[in-house]
Chain A
């Protein structure tokens, strides 16, 4: 007890001495606000774990995911095969790990395609008045279809392959990004700092990409996270319906599709890939929600 008061001044003196106002970038502030919520931290760690599994799958998978074993087919979860084996005796855990790789890859590529296309489209619509009407009618038309239906239509036209799935879903989700970017760009365009940039002699492309676009990063980031989740879900649905990635590729959707006819005897075939999808999509949604909340004070100003 006696030592406490003696320590206290020393304790407080340290932060005071070092307490000069630190320069915080908007990004650092965002991270701090984002990780204030425990659920977001859990979801984020889970996502990182799933990502690590996906990247390291070839090395950490307990079995070769393609290796068949006729004698060990449809075995329930055991010490050797944690998630059981499928109709060809392949290890379900290993296949889920490899599936993570493919599903995340599809999700990521879709995010990239949709974000790049959507951002360009949204910026064009938001900055060039003449393009606004036509471009937004195109997005209206695309958004009038349910995601799955539009994706199936594109897949029917393009033919089944992993990259066609990416392309189809990329196009399906482009309008979502375009809408958000346009709405935010319309607001930012009128901000005095954009006029100030013009008054400094900046060219239009410079204004759009250096002065407007960086202010749209928050809404784009939030959309990208949600699209990541939707893309994984829709890819699984497409594969389940048999119009997605060719069935020989072990994506989560394909695994569930293949498990349909054995569901009565081997429910783990559907359960474990299903859990993988739920866990991934849920984590992404929680992180997306957290991002949206963390960005809220600025979102309110921007949208």
Chain B
């Protein structure tokens, strides 16, 4: 049976997840042995460049990987439901999974402009999950949708309820998406780059809203992003992914203050900084090169070819994820040597 030893405080426990895509020829290991946990009431940010496997990880949790060509090839996705029962999402039937999606796990997508169906009013769309999962009738779902719209801070909610997505701005639509995702009071909310498509002031409002809603509902949030500024705003803990693997993991303070993986350091150095001095030092740093293709990863540490600290030993064997401190670990054989 499923490991009963999962800490009661843990909502999601991903163990050694492998998600592969069939490619021609060979197999593309988009997610290659990823493990992390999300605790109750916690926001875990998963950070990485495009192609690091962060979105595939979140889609694996929802079992929304397009199959074929994709499939979850190994590992466990242990999820504690509302009733306290722990289930392995990787092994649930499609039917059981449907009762989890939108009900126990909510999801917010990146594109608020196209993630709402243009032919239904927002009230109908928010109510859909309620009618579907909780068997509410039209009237009750409408009342609940109205309450949700108010909760996500949409002004004149009574009027907005009957509006169509094309009548709303991007920020408004993202609020509607959040209302939809939270409609059934999920225990886990997956947010896949929810603020990427929004402009900065709206970003801040949406992050604020998510923080407030988390405080109210106690939902765990799995937050996928490539924006470290957003991470600093909202996350309690951070997982840095690179090339399908977790390379560093820790609580947000120690990871930002004391990054122990060269990749994390590189990401932090890529952030523009107002306090930076002018002149030569003001040049924005970039990590040279690209994420290696999941079809053809280098031997040893996958970051070694782009790493300024790499030494010959780095390219022979893959380093393990070593604990740096009780709540911080890094996958780098030279983490002690980093300045």
The yes or no verdict on A and B being binding partners is yes
Give per-residue flags for B112-133: 1 if the beta carbon is below 8 A from chain A beta carbons, else 0: 0011111111000000110011
CA distance A191 to B111 in the complex (A): 10
Cβ-based interface call for A137 (8 A): no
| CB–CB B98/A195 < 8 A | no
Q: What distance in Å separates the Cβ of B164 from its nearest Cβ neighbour in chain A?
A: 7
| CB–CB A26/B129 < 8 A | no
| CB–CB B107/A196 < 8 A | yes
A interface: dominant SS: helix
| CB–CB A200/B102 < 8 A | yes
B-side contacts of A26, CB under 8 Å:
118-119, 164, 166
B-side contacts of A199, CB under 8 Å:
62, 64, 101-102, 106-107, 109
A-side contacts of B99, CB under 8 Å:
201
**A23 and B163 contact, Cβ closer than 8 Å, known pairs A196-B107, A201-B98:** yes
**A215 and B119 contact, Cβ closer than 8 Å, known pairs A23-B159, A26-B164, A203-B98:** yes
Give per-residue flags for A268-303: 1 if the beta carbon is below 8 A from chain B beta carbons, else 0: 000000000000000000000000000000100000
Cβ-based interface call for B103 (8 A): yes
Task: List residues 127-183 of chain B with CB under 8 A from any CB of chain A.
Answer: 128-129, 132-133, 159, 162-164, 166-167, 177, 180
Cβ-based interface call for A146 (8 A): no
CA distance A217 to B116 in the complex (A): 17
CA distance A21 to B163 in the complex (A): 10
Q: Which chain B residue shows the least CB distance to A191?
A: B114
Q: What distance in Å separates the Cβ of B181 from its nearest Cβ neighbour in chain A?
A: 8
Q: What distance in Å separates the Cβ of A19 from its nearest Cβ neighbour in chain B?
A: 13
A-B interface contact total, Cβ < 8 Å: 78
CA distance A25 to B122 in the complex (A): 12
| CB–CB B159/A195 < 8 A | no
CA distance A217 to B64 in the complex (A): 27
| CB–CB A202/B98 < 8 A | yes
Q: What distance in Å separates the Cβ of B132 from its nearest Cβ neighbour in chain A?
A: 6
Give per-residue flags for A190-210: 1 if the beta carbon is below 8 A from chain B beta carbons, else 0: 011101111111110000000
**A201 and B107 contact, Cβ closer than 8 Å, known pairs A211-B117, A215-B118:** no
B-side contacts of A217, CB under 8 Å:
119
Q: What distance in Å separates the Cβ of A210 from its nearest Cβ neighbour in chain B?
A: 8
Q: What distance in Å separates the Cβ of A12 from its nearest Cβ neighbour in chain B?
A: 23
Q: Which of A24, A25, A193, A202 contacts B114 (CB 8 A)?
A: A193
Cβ-based interface call for B230 (8 A): no
Cβ-based interface call for B100 (8 A): yes
Q: What distance in Å separates the Cβ of A297 from its nearest Cβ neighbour in chain B?
A: 10
| CB–CB A23/B162 < 8 A | yes
| CB–CB A193/B116 < 8 A | yes
| CB–CB B114/A192 < 8 A | yes
CA distance A217 to B107 in the complex (A): 28
Q: Which chain A residue shows the least CB distance to B105?
A: A199
Cβ-based interface call for A214 (8 A): yes
Give per-residue flags for A156-174: 1 if the beta carbon is below 8 A from chain B beta carbons, else 0: 0000000000000000000
Q: Which chain A residue shows the least CB distance to B177?
A: A196
Q: What distance in Å separates the Cβ of B81 from its nearest Cβ neighbour in chain A?
A: 14
CA distance A298 to B162 in the complex (A): 21
B-side contacts of A21, CB under 8 Å:
159, 167
Cβ-based interface call for A67 (8 A): no
Q: Which chain A residue shows the least CB distance to B165?
A: A193
Q: Which chain A residue shows the least CB distance to B180?
A: A200
Q: Which of A23, A193, A203, A298 contacts B117 (CB 8 A)?
A: A193
CA distance A21 to B167 in the complex (A): 9
Task: List residues 40-83 of chain A with CB under 8 A from any CB of chain B.
Answer: none
Q: What distance in Å separates the Cβ of B143 from its nearest Cβ neighbour in chain A?
A: 18
Q: What distance in Å separates the Cβ of B56 from its nearest Cβ neighbour in chain A?
A: 14
| CB–CB B100/A201 < 8 A | yes
B-side contacts of A25, CB under 8 Å:
121, 164
| CB–CB B115/A200 < 8 A | no
CA distance A21 to B162 in the complex (A): 12
Q: Name, among B98, B99, B180, the residue most crowded by chain A CB atoms within 10 Å (CB to CB).
A: B98
Q: What distance in Å separates the Cβ of A112 from its nearest Cβ neighbour in chain B?
A: 22
B-side contacts of A202, CB under 8 Å:
98, 102, 128, 132
CA distance A108 to B121 in the complex (A): 31
Provide 17 A-B residue pairs closer than 8 Å at the C-beta atoms, listed in order of the A residue. A21-B167, A23-B121, A25-B164, A26-B166, A192-B109, A195-B115, A197-B117, A198-B101, A199-B101, A200-B128, A201-B102, A201-B103, A201-B132, A202-B102, A203-B98, A214-B119, A214-B120
**Apart from A20-B159, A23-B121, A215-B118, what are 20 other A-B pairs with CB-CB below 8 Å?**
A23-B159, A23-B163, A23-B164, A24-B164, A192-B114, A193-B116, A196-B107, A196-B109, A196-B180, A197-B128, A199-B62, A199-B64, A199-B102, A199-B107, A200-B102, A200-B128, A201-B99, A201-B101, A203-B98, A215-B117
- B-contacting residues of A (Cβ < 8 Å)? 20-21, 23-26, 191-193, 195-203, 211, 214-215, 217, 298
